[in-house]
Amino acid sequence: MNTQDILIRAEQHQTIVPAFNIPYLPMVEPVLQAIKDENSVALVEVARLEWKKFQSKSLEAVAEEYFKFANSNHTRLHLDHIPVIDEDDVLVDYMPYFERAIKVGYQSVMIDGSRLGLEENILATHKVAELAHRYDVAVEAELGAVVGHSKDGLGVSYEELFENKQGFTKISEAERFAIESGCDWLSVAVGSVHGAIADNLKRQKKPTARLDIKQIIKLKAVTRNMPLVLHGGSGIQQDYILQAVKAGIAKINVGTEIRQPYENTLEETGSITKAQAAVYIRARWVLHDFLRVTGTAKFLITPKA
């Protein structure tokens, strides 16, 4: 079963597929073990910034570590956030990343053209989709801008961001994007925020976020019923996430929630083993208590004999 089918099935069952980001390679094993032990289905993913700003080394290094421990009855490998213009406002030669990812076994990929105008975002996404679809690889794109991945964090208070709908995905643009871009999933900006990546901010607690559920419902209605994605999943109030699932969110990215326990434990103890244990405990909490997706493997993936 490919990743696209899993997300569609998640929508049908009104559940969600978590996607755990990997900024440090030793996090792969405990995350995979937590997913298996909760009998859940989830993605393991890495973004370009996580080997540029953290220590996941490369998309190949994460794939190699993933396939050491992966169980296809529970997980798939996803390439997150390959930007056209990155968080430092640098233009990226993005196509080679997708070629490399497909070569080493990534089962879905994300092109991030959110810093482009609508026309340019559509063109970049379509270019990636043409390549990926030849290999049965699903493509995620982003429209609007989930804030937070900058040296200054949010730049404004969270309340001001939400009230002004800063960066929120526009309904009219989403309708056109869904028709013309060729993407399979759409990451939408509806109130969540990315974890900070600047050294002076990345250890701080994220603001408690909420979601514009009415906006999600409208976006779902105009995007040809494609699965919608929520980035910045850590820190969102649980009730909003549960409402968002019913409104059409099928995938949620989780990064800060498991990254900070790893970093804090490693700093306190100097032990990678103890840091891995902290990740395992927190990942199980995310799956069981926060997202309530324990047992989803029973109906999201048909087990292989």
Whole-angstrom distance, CA of residue 210 vs CA of residue 191: 6
Q: Is 80 a catalytic residue?
A: yes
Whole-angstrom distance, CA of residue 287 vs CA of residue 119: 37
Whole-angstrom distance, CA of residue 171 vs CA of residue 76: 30
DSSP class of residue 208 equals P
| Tokens describing residue 167 | 């960066």
Q: Which helix (H) or strand (E) holds 110?
A: strand 108-112
The Cα angle at residue 158 between residues 265 and 42, in degrees rounded to 5: 50
In 3D space, the residue among 295, 305, 303 whose CA is nearest the CA of residue 37 turns out to be: 295
Q: Which of 80, 86, 112, 212 is catalytic?
A: 80
Whole-angstrom distance, CA of residue 183 vs CA of residue 119: 14
With beta carbons less than 8 A apart as the criterion, state whether 84 and 122 touch.
Answer: no
Whole-angstrom distance, CA of residue 92 vs CA of residue 119: 18
Measuring CA to CA, how many Å separate 215 from each of 57, 93, 183, 196, 244?
Answer: 37, 33, 20, 25, 10
With beta carbons less than 8 A apart as the criterion, state whether 234 and 195 touch.
Answer: yes
Whole-angstrom distance, CA of residue 76 vs CA of residue 98: 16
Q: Quick one: how far is CA 154 from the chain centroid?
A: 18
Q: Which residues are catalytic?
A: 80
